[in-house]
Structure 1
Amino acid sequence: MSESNIIIQENGHVLTVTINRPNQLNALNRETILELHEALKSANQDENIGVVILTGSGEKAFVAGADIKEFANFKPSEGQELSAWGHEILFNYIEAMDKPVIAAINGFALGGGLELAMASHIRVASDNARMGLPEVSLGVIPGYGGTQRLTQLVGKGKAFEMIATAGMINADEALQWGLVNHVTTPEELIALAEKIAAKILKNSPNAIGAAIRAVNANFKDGLNGYDKEIEEFGRCFGTPEFVEGTTAFMEKRKAEFRK
């Protein structure tokens, strides 16, 4: 299945969504953000889908940022509305999905592209990837969660450095700082993402969704992550997947959570 700005491929329980604007280095415009939202919303509601892989088309870029020409003439109120809209419809939406999202970062992941990767649950990068938040060089700051998620992932000091210098880091440095989980060659990038997806698919979909909600609660104002963990832990006991998982363990067999 193909949309105007994305390509959607389903393989078993894995959905791969490729941002397909190679002539614009896969920059995010409003239309692409909307298409991504619809594809991800559909995947999140589809019981057959267990994992989503996000990547970019071509060899140069995952996503090289937002489409600047769309907002170059915005007023302050319009800029604030754009940021709030993007948070709600895509970046926060990905973070809160029940299905794990793996960002396969091929090439440049800058600005909104890095923010898209950071909203994902797991990040793998090709060894030619370059990552950064260059917004201050344009007289603005990251507006799709970059100031918050980068700090969560690499710490306050490194986040300040990356944002204030508007510089890029390479894949190895991103791995060193915990910004990505794994680094591999461009040729093996999708295969690595699929290997991680296969490991995820062996486990309880309900428990994975519960774990995502519990982990995210630690970073939400007004929520106590420990309380959320207790709530989600208890809720798991009432599911058929808990019965299957514990029964399989006691019977010394592999649990079967998916058809």
Structure 2
Amino acid sequence: MIVVLVLSSSMLMACGTSPAGSQEEAALENSEELEVAQGELWDRFAQLKAIAEEGPASREVFVALSSAVNILAEAIQSNAQITINDSNEIQEAFEQLESDLSGLSNLEIMEAQQKLHSPKTVFVASLSEYLEQYLARADLKDGSESIFNIYFSSMSRNSDDLESVIESAQGAVNSLERLEDYPVSSIKTVISENKSTFTEEQLDLLLSAIVFIDMSVDLQIEIMESFVHDTFEHIDLTEKIDGAYYLMANAHSELKELERILGVVDDEE
């Protein structure tokens, strides 16, 4: 009899459901907490689907929609994701979400509701990718394929050709200024939609990091414009570049601390 009980317990664990888990599942059945959590998840799904069904959306609406869908998907551990404003991809994402929502256990529903309101979920599912894109385009560290580094390298190779230098510098200015359109505008939209999810400390770190990147980009534009207008000899280029480096280092520091607080990275990292 003892052997049978041990085997039965092992089989339950192998299937991913412990006796304690089964009891917790049963206790949640028909509970008010479960009803509220389930209702919130399905209400969120219905609201987002209704927005998607309205048809082609502005960029701001699309960013808000895609980030909200990705947050819901992260909360319920679904592979559904919207990355581009494409009707087929959006439809597939909602079909996947609906299927995954329907398959949640009682415990998974309760866990998903908690994750839906977690700043970590919001950061990982909707902000981190935009921030990574901004950092990749704005970082001046050695080996970085940032806008400044690519154009400055081209200018250095063609330093004896003034026209080429000016053309490259103007190209850098244009590309750096377009960062405000993307991904900065998307970052601002996501933060605006989810501001209440973050604590004051978390929001301060996030906004501070973005300001540091913005300031670094402004310095990079100033440097490149000095080549466009042939005034670079009248400014301290080394000081300006060092300043842009310093600002990016501060941005990385703020984001690293935010990720540590959110539990995105370990304290040791």
| TM bucket, shorter chain | under 0.3
Q: Which has the larger share of helix?
A: 2
TM, length-normalised to structure 1: 0.26
TM, length-normalised to structure 2: 0.26
Q: Which has the larger share of strand?
A: 1
- From the CA coordinates, give the structure whose radius of gyration is larger: 2
